[in-house]
A and B are shown apart, each in its own frame.
Chain A
Amino acid sequence: MTESETSDVRANRLSGAEYADNFSDIHPPLTPHEALVEADRCYFCYDAPCMTACPTSIDIPMFIRKIQAANPVGSAKTIFEQNIMGGMCARVCPTETLCEEVCVRETAEGKPVKIGLLQRYATDTFMEREQPHPFSRAAPTGKKIAVIGAGPAGLSCAHRLATKGHDVTVYEAREKAGGLNEYGIASYKTTNDFAQDEVEFILQVGGITIENGKALGRDVALEQLTADFDAVFLGLGLPGVNALGLEGENASGVIDAVDFIGVLRQAEDLSQIEIGRRIVVIGGGMTAIDAAMQSKLLGAEDVTVAYRRGQEHMNASLYEQELAQTHGIAIRHWLMPDSLNVSNGAVTAITLERTALDAGGKLVGTGEKVTIEADQVFKAIGQTPDAGPLAGSVELEKGRIRVDDQRRTSHSKIWAGGDCVAGGEDLTVVSVEDGKIAAESIHKALMA
């Protein structure tokens, strides 16, 4: 056997200290003094561009001013008013393409105010000081709403509805609430079980019951829910993963990146996670970068991200790309999967074909091929909706649920939001906004 036919996948590549160090908070939170200094850089703009850029329209100048005025708890309240998941969004928002991209300090000197870190400072301070929940519930309305999926969209919707005096039951297929916050985000972005702390914080408002292990279509039927509840909100997310469509895809070592990230997040002991010496990640989004980064942090030696288009087409932000590169990850463009080399039931390499855009702008293979040795190949080429459980109750658009600007579906009692709906970016912050908008719309409809 030549070396390339040997698969090297094992646990315990690093020392305990290395695991702890690699998976600590990638962006350490600001100290109170750092927060004061950074907050002072904010100009308190009129009609602030950052506020417009925020999908949840957080009053950013106001929350930063409250930090300046040594009132981080009040600052957090300003954030939560618009975004009940302000804590997680502070960790995972691609701020460099949202609020910080349009910060006037970015315009002026290429160094935006660190809005994400300031938001984290405020929300973390709020949580650490164990403040009473910042929202109270309106008088009971007697209305009941079912929310499917305890991810960012579902929880945001449930919280807003609860504040209006409605009772909400959330059905969640998994064991824990949080959705991608719990299962789909790199560990170093949300340490110390923050996702669960945030769920607890949201539930403090009262009036929300979460039923875990209840999947739509398996344990509950949409038709029954629409009969039993006054309204239904669908925050299903994207349960499926795109396949490479190659022979050998079921071989050992060919793994869904989303599953890999989920396993990592739930792992009690990172040293027990088996990781290859040589990794190839297929894809160009945040999931691809998260998987590549965590492979490297688990001790993989050679990690390559292969993307079929150019750098400018990657969905991962430039910041995330640079983060990967500074961790020694190679990002290679214009390469699409051609075939998997499998030996003894395990992948040993992946062959990729170089690509180019033809005269019509269509992506085509050039015929030139590259083989990269790999003990593991992670697939991160997009997640897919599953319309099965919907049983045809609502209209779809390219497989996702069609909604209007109030997140109403074609069914009069059903609203939807988050990644499962058509249009919009698949971001935590966008899902939170969807849930919020849907809740306002449901409230309006039910109280009319």
Chain B
Amino acid sequence: MADLSTNFLGIKSPNPFWLASAPPTDKAYNVERAFEAGWGGVVWKTLGEAGPPVVNVNGPRYGAIWGPDRRLLGLNNIELITDRDLEINLREITEVKKRWPDRAMIVSIMVPCEESSWKSILPRVEDTGADGIELNFGCPHGMSERGMGAAVGQVPEYIQMVAEWCKHYSKMPVIVKLTPNITDIRYPARAAKAGGADAVSLINTISSIVSVDLDNFAPVPTIDGKGSHGGYCGPAVKPIALNMVAEIARDPETRGLPISGIGGVQTWRDAAEFIALGCGTVQVCTAAMTYGFKIVQEMAQGLSDWMDEKGYETIADFQGRAVPNVTDWQYLNLNYITKAKIDQDLCIKCGRCHIACEDTSHQAITSMVDGVRHFEVMDDECVGCNLCVNVCPVDDCITMVQMTEGSDPRTGRPIDHDYANWTTHPNNPMAKQAAE
């Protein structure tokens, strides 16, 4: 049986599955239920300054995108940081950590971008016995208008500054949570590192309008006829999160910086992908908010079973294994030739590959041969784009097969076994300049 235990910045947890800072971690009641269900750790829902807490809207806070069977694919929220009193939160954090010493207890914090604010809250959090803090620089709605959350996360200098304060006024490990609502994720990550942060976590939610109510002509969720942009999360955002994680993992300036991966983790496989791109833990929110806490049991068991099958004994055995294989487009091997191949025994003759190729790509798949509906790839037209594979409803019916000998019937050029990329390609004006 694989060992799922993790040690992230010295914070130990029995498995890499943490609940992200969000409604599921807003109070002791939920967090205790989560630990009972098997979650390895939690990031307590973001605390604000002492005094009267923020208030939430009293209408709908969420909007969603669904598949046809109401499978929730994307969730959007306009909820703010905790709207409970700071003292109550601190007391509950202390009690829960005491009762669950083997679980990771991270506290998310968002206070105004002033040194005094951070200086005053940090010791209070440290007194709870929490294992670490996460700086919420990501929340894209409500708090950013007040100069917090994403408003800080979008300015690398602020990130560095606040990270420095946190390291100065606290002995706890500092995780900086990054907003994806930025052009290049590497800049805030570099700033976090420069400020002395121990890790980054990403992604926070993406600014979004999840849909428009066509009867009222207002964004959803609609509060008294009006709507506001929210933060988008759930399975739909995973590809964006994976890319941003990879960008940080392979950036020479931040390589090795511990990462806690967030964004659309629904199953063990999603978690394994984040870990393969370098993450030490993953954080989950939408999946729990959709199905409840029990899903962690599938995640832990699934990850363990897969690791056993692959012979990985610990998380570290495969952590980051995909990072070296993430590269820039210009370094992809242009001599690697593939052709789509349709397995006629598996083909159910829906014709989707044909029409996708015919209407929108390279006219490389037949629809009729000798008067009979028949779908076959014409190698002399196929550019190997993979669209047919993606639209085919049958698993493994269409596969991409590498050509290893002869010549490419499309270009007439012999297969070249040497690696060659765009940087040296004769059509690349930059390559020409370099050669001259």
A interface residues, Cβ below 8 angstroms from B: 33, 36-37, 39-40, 43-49, 68, 104-105, 107-108
Contacting residues, chain B, for A49 (C-beta < 8 A): 349, 373
Q: With A43-B393, A46-B367, A47-B373 in contact, do A107 and B349 touch (Cβ < 8 Å)?
A: yes
CB neighbours of B27 from chain A (8 A) = none
User: Do B68 and A104 have beta carbons less than 8 Å apart?
Assistant: no
B354 within 8 Å of A (CB atoms)? yes
Contact A46 B350 (CB under 8 A): yes
Evaluate contact between A43 and B68: CB separation under 8 angstroms.
no
**Cα A68 to Cα B66 with chains together (Å):** 12
A33 and chain B: residue at smallest CB distance: B70
Query: With an 8 A cutoff between CB atoms, is B394 at the interface?
Result: yes
Interface flag for B112 (CB, 8 Å)? no
List residues of chain B with CB within 8 A of the CB of A45.
349-352
Residues 147-178 of B, flagged 1 when their CB comes within 8 A of A and 0 if not, give 00000000000000000000000000000000
Q: Any chain A CB within 8 A of the CB of B316? A: no
The size of the chain B interface, using a CB distance under 8 A, is: 16
In the complex, what residues of B have CB within 8 A of residue A105's CB?
A: 348
Given contacts A104-B349, A107-B349, A108-B394, contact A46 B354 (CB under 8 A): yes
Give CA–CA (A368, B394) in the complex, Å.
Answer: 53
Known: A46-B351, A49-B373. 18 other contacts (CB 8 A): A36-B68, A37-B68, A37-B69, A39-B68, A43-B350, A43-B352, A43-B393, A45-B352, A46-B352, A46-B367, A47-B351, A48-B351, A49-B349, A104-B348, A107-B348, A108-B348, A108-B393, A108-B394
The answer to whether B68 and A40 touch across the interface, beta carbons within 8 angstroms, is yes
Interface string of B389-414 (1 = CB under 8 A from A): 00001100000000000000000000
Q: Mark B20-35, 1 if CB is under 8 A from A, else 0.
A: 0000000000000000
B295 within 8 A of A: no
Contacts of B69 in A (CB 8 A): 36-37, 40
Q: How far is the CA of A59 from the CA of B314 in the complex (A)?
A: 55
Interface residues of chain B, those whose CB is within 8 Å of chain A, are 67-70, 348-352, 354-355, 367-368, 373, 393-394
Give the complex CA separation of A33 and B68 in angstroms. 8
B368 CB contacts on chain A under 8 angstroms: 47
Q: How far is the CB of A106 from chain B (nearest CB, A)?
A: 9
Give the total number of A-B pairs whose CB atoms are below 8 A apart.
40
Smallest CB-CB separation from A105: which chain B residue?
A: B348
Query: Which of B68, B368, B394 has the largest count of A CB atoms less than 10 A from its CB?
Result: B68
CB-nearest residue of chain A to B394: A108
Query: Which residues of A are found within 8 Å of B394, using beta-carbon distances?
Result: 108
Contact A47–B393 (Cβ < 8 Å):
no
Q: Which residues of A contact B352 (CB under 8 A)?
A: 43-46
A132 to B174, CA, bound (A): 66
Which of A39, A68, A105, A108 neighbours the largest number of chain B CB atoms within 10 Å of its CB? Answer: A108
Q: Is the CB of B68 within 8 A of A68?
A: yes
Q: Which residues of B contact A107 (CB under 8 A)?
A: 348-349
A contact residues around B373 at 8 Å (CB): 47, 49
CA distance A44 to B367 in the complex (A): 15
What would be 7 A-B contacts, judged by CB atoms less than 8 Å apart? A44-B352, A45-B349, A46-B351, A47-B351, A47-B367, A48-B351, A68-B68
Cα distance A40–B355 when bound, in Å?
A: 19
Contacts of B367 in A (CB 8 A): 46-47
- Would you give the shortest CB distance from B84 to chain A, in whole angstroms? 37
B-chain residues with CB within 8 Å of residue A39 when the two chains form the complex: 68
CA distance in complex: A172, B349 (Å): 45
Q: Distance (Å) between the CB of B261 and the closest chain A CB?
A: 31
Could you tell me the distance in whole angstroms from the C-beta of B397 to the nearest C-beta in chain A? 10
A49–B367 Cα gap in the complex (Å)?
A: 12
Q: When chains A and B are docked, how far (Å) is the Cα of A36 from the Cα of B351? A: 22
A43: nearest chain-B partner, CB-CB: B350
Contacts of B354 in A (CB 8 A): 46
- In whole angstroms, what is the CA distance A43 to B354 when docked? 13
Docked CA distance A266–B57 (Å): 60
- Give Cα A37–Cα B373 distance, bound, in whole angstroms: 28
Residues of chain B within 8 A of A104, CB atoms compared = 348-350
- Bound CA span A49–B373, Å: 9
CA distance A252 to B274 in the complex (A): 80
**B389: min CB distance to chain A, Å:** 15
CB distance from A149 to the nearest CB of B (A): 38
Q: How far is the CA of A171 from the CA of B393 in the complex (A)?
A: 51
CB-based closest 8 A-B pairs: A46-B351, A40-B68, A46-B355, A108-B348, A104-B348, A45-B350, A43-B350, A107-B348
Q: How far is the CA of A108 from the CA of B396 in the complex (A)?
A: 13
In whole angstroms, what is the CA distance A264 to B373 when docked? 46
Q: Determine the chain B residues whose CB is within 8 A of the CB of A68 once the complex forms.
A: 68
Q: Tell me the smallest distance from the CB of B404 to a CB of chain A, in Å.
A: 32
